[in-house]
Amino acid sequence: MEAGGLEWLLVPMHQLVSWGAAGAMVFGGVVPYIPQYRDIRRTQNAEGFSTYVCLVLLVANILRILFWFGRRFESPLLWQSIIMIITMLLMLKLCTEVRVSNELNIKRRSFAAADSKDEEIKAPPKRSYLDFDLNYFWHWSKFTDYVQCVLTFTCVTGYVTYLWLDSSLFVETLGFLAVFTEAMLGVPQLYRNYQNRSTEGMSVKMVLMWTSGDTFKTVYFILNQAPFQFSICGLLQVFVDIAILLQVYLYSYYPQKPVSHTAHPASTKAL
């Protein structure tokens, strides 16, 4: 009788814990960006945040969704990707608006057709249609250009996935690329901090939430026996987060002389 009563209590508790863990997986990934979003909105300065973080997460989560069609992993991980894509687009929209409003006399750059009135007179003809200069990639002047780029990437990768969906090697490789790309999430921020010799403008709360979230996520992967790619790359992601936290400590207690950027007005915004 005691065992039956205990089981009656443990089953709903286990269900609640499972729901809580699933909810944390779906929405926990976007929480670290809330303080960063608020800081950028309040200060109207997006210099401390690398928009390449958004690029990494958009690519990773698009690939993860495509991986789901080949290997149906847990639905919370799928919904996490959808929520993250929406969040990264909102971050990009804010950063683009803030950056453009702070730029004066800077040539407007676009992903697709460039606006002729913004083109410099000395620009070569080939730049009148597509603007794929790597120095300005992912540093466009309108949010719609980022959306066009994301849609183009989604259509191309989606078509390739449709053609090779029956290949288990392709599907597993796609899954690895998805989680490995996400594992590289902190690398753009790590490099930006190194380049600036400072972590000023970067939300430390965001990185702390990254670390705690990635740790929780990796444990979740292991306990729920997610595809092995998830667990391996989750551990790698935690190591990158720790490296960024070490930068916070080093640059706070041992300030270094910032690197000067004089080559081009936009060179300090390469990331």
Q: How far apart are CA 258 and CA 229, in angstroms?
A: 38
pLDDT in tens, 151-193: 999 999 999 999 999 999 999 899 889 888 888 878 878 888 8
Average pLDDT value for residue range 102-110: 63
Global pTM value: 0.69
Say which range, 75-89, 175-189, 191-205, 257-271, has the weakest mean pLDDT.
Answer: 257-271
* Greater model confidence, 111 or 251: 251
**Maximum Cα–Cα distance across the chain:** 87
Taking the alpha carbons at both ends of the chain, their separation in whole angstroms is 64
* Greater model confidence, 217 or 130: 217
Per-residue model confidence (pLDDT) at position 63: 94
Average pLDDT value for residue range 201-217: 81
Residue 136's alpha-carbon distances to 58, 77, 208, 271, in angstroms, are 18, 33, 30, 9
CA 22 to chain centre: 20
Say which range, 14-28, 117-131, 177-191, 210-224, has the weakest mean pLDDT.
Answer: 117-131
Per-residue model confidence (pLDDT) at position 162: 94
The domain ranges of the chain are: 11-103+136-251
* Greater model confidence, 106 or 138: 138
Amino acid identity of 260? S
Whether the per-residue pLDDT at 202 is higher than 90: the answer is no
* Greater model confidence, 139 or 1: 139
268: CB partners within 8 A, 6+ apart: 47, 261
Whether the per-residue pLDDT at 264 is higher than 50: the answer is no
CB-CB neighbours of 111 under 10 Å: 22
Q: How far apart are CA 183 and CA 68, in angstroms?
A: 18
Average pLDDT value for residue range 88-98: 93
Q: Using pLDDT thresholds of 50, 70 and 90, give the confidence band for residue 249.
A: confident
Most confident of 73-82, 107-116, 148-157: 148-157
Per-residue model confidence (pLDDT) at position 94: 95
Percent of the chain residues past pLDDT 70, beyond the cut:
74
Average pLDDT value for residue range 114-141: 55
Say which range, 180-189, 220-229, 234-243, has the weakest mean pLDDT.
Answer: 220-229
